[in-house]
Amino acid sequence: MRRPSKSSSPKLSADSQRLIGFGHAIAQSASRLEERAWERNLDILSQKLLKSSHQDTIDAALDNLFKADLDAYDSLVEAIEATSESCQLEQDGTQFDALLIAAPILAWTRFAIPSGPIAEDIRLTLAAQLGAHLLADGAQLTVAPALFSIDQLPHTHAETFALTRRMAQAALKNSVVPFPAKGAETVPFLADTRYLLATVVVPTGAPLFRWQMQHNQPNVIADQQQVLAQWQAQAAPSIARLLPGCGIELLLPEAYYIACREADKQIRPAAIRAAVHYLTHTLNLAAAELRAIIGGFGDDSSDEQLSEYRIGFAIGTQPEIVYGIVWPLYGEEDDSDLPLLPEQKRPIETVMALLQEEGVTSIKRHNARFPIEFCDDCGTPLFADDEGELVHPEMPEDTPQGSEHFH
């Protein structure tokens, strides 16, 4: 679920009000036919706004619904995302559908995780592998000639919409969309995600992905698992060339927003493993000598749902927090007392199990809810120490210099 901007104007334009109305209408629809009719009207309006880069109009509507009606908010944000990551084009009298996809790569290292331009031979190899293992027969594809960090991805729906159209036109022309040789600066984390972006184009109504191809009885889960296994086996050597010195895990390439959200969730365990690895090797100690102090953090509103856990690390019996990582909570993830299915775990149980798997056996969890606070000077998240005081993590003074950023 996308969090709205806090700086938007409370005054709503006519188009913002129309977006809000469509969000309510879709959420309240009592039939599929009614819902699809509202969605068609919403698609027309959202395409007009995205083409003209009226992101403020969209953000104002989303902010309003986020505060007033979460079901309507979900309906609107889903529609806006779908419109911005796809488009329709015409060439030589034929109509085409296009979809922006992302292939996330989880990476972890004690050094910097690269991003930026991809050599043409590697780009062509990855494009061929995506076409062979992921795409339906007859689909056309163009792969962006760069590997992106999250800071280098489009920041708004309007930017995503513009990128989708540029890359779709390039796919039809069998060309490549140029990107700046140097992208936006990205903060170096021990564990982070890199994204390979591509756009798939097919004749309108034709299948995009291999698991959509004609089957008497669809088995999407099994088909996707097979696609992922093939992609991981074939693409790993090329990705390793792009990310030297990094551990990597390739996730399933999917529609842009879904892929990015899944990567956000899947990088969290890697961040814990990378932190323990970094601390034990940098400080020359065993994982059992580390202590983990976990605090739940949320905003100051009456909303009881936590926004994130912050995990601070200390050494032995020393009180100082030397390092910390953030475990964000997304969408419906909640550590409330609501019942779970037998196979489900609460996020805090997952966090504690991962720490124990990595050898950290001394774990303290604060029951208090802490406000989301950062260092005024450097912006680093503050972490709860043993006494429940929010403190700035500081590595020992004699620690070798290196990557010490938080995730």
Q: What is the pLDDT along the chain (407 residues), one digit of tens a residue?
A: 444 444 444 589 999 999 999 999 999 999 999 999 999 999 999 999 999 999 999 999 999 999 999 999 999 999 999 999 999 999 989 999 999 999 999 999 888 899 999 999 999 999 999 999 999 999 999 999 999 999 999 999 999 999 999 999 999 999 999 887 666 777 778 899 999 999 999 999 999 999 998 776 788 999 999 999 999 999 999 999 999 999 999 999 999 999 999 999 999 999 999 999 999 999 999 999 999 999 999 876 555 678 999 999 999 999 999 999 999 998 777 666 555 666 678 899 999 999 999 999 999 999 989 999 998 888 889 999 999 999 999 998 877 665 455 45
Residue with tokens 């100051």: 300
CB 265 within 8 A of CB 109: no
| φ and ψ of 41, to 5 deg | -65, -40
Query: Beta 140-148 vs 86-91: how paired, if at all?
Result: unpaired
Rounded Cα distance between 141 and 135, Å, is 9
Closest by Cα among 265, 275, 278, 326 to 104: 265
Over the stretch 367-403, which tens digit does the pLDDT of each residue have?
A: 989 999 998 888 889 999 999 999 999 998 877 665 4
Cβ-based neighbour number of residue 279 at 10 Å:
23
Over the stretch 85-125, which tens digit does the pLDDT of each residue have?
A: 999 999 989 999 999 999 999 999 888 899 999 999 999 99
Distance of CA 250 to the CA centre of its chain: 14
CB 261 within 8 A of CB 268: no
Closest by Cα among 382, 190, 353 to 277: 190
Closest by Cα among 4, 100, 90, 80 to 39: 80
Q: Cα–Cα distances in Å, from 79 out to 22, 39, 309?
A: 10, 7, 30
Rounded Cα distance between 321 and 393, Å, is 5
3-state secondary structure of 146: strand
Query: Beta 362-371 vs 290-298: how paired, if at all?
Result: parallel
Distance of CA 70 to the CA centre of its chain: 20
Rounded Cα distance between 110 and 190, Å, is 6
DSSP 8-class letter at 1: -
Rounded Cα distance between 293 and 186, Å, is 28
CB 278 within 8 A of CB 406: no
Total-model pTM: 0.86
Rounded Cα distance between 100 and 364, Å, is 43
What are the residue boundaries of the structural domains of the chain, listed by start? 14-84, 87-264, 283-391
Rounded Cα distance between 213 and 155, Å, is 33
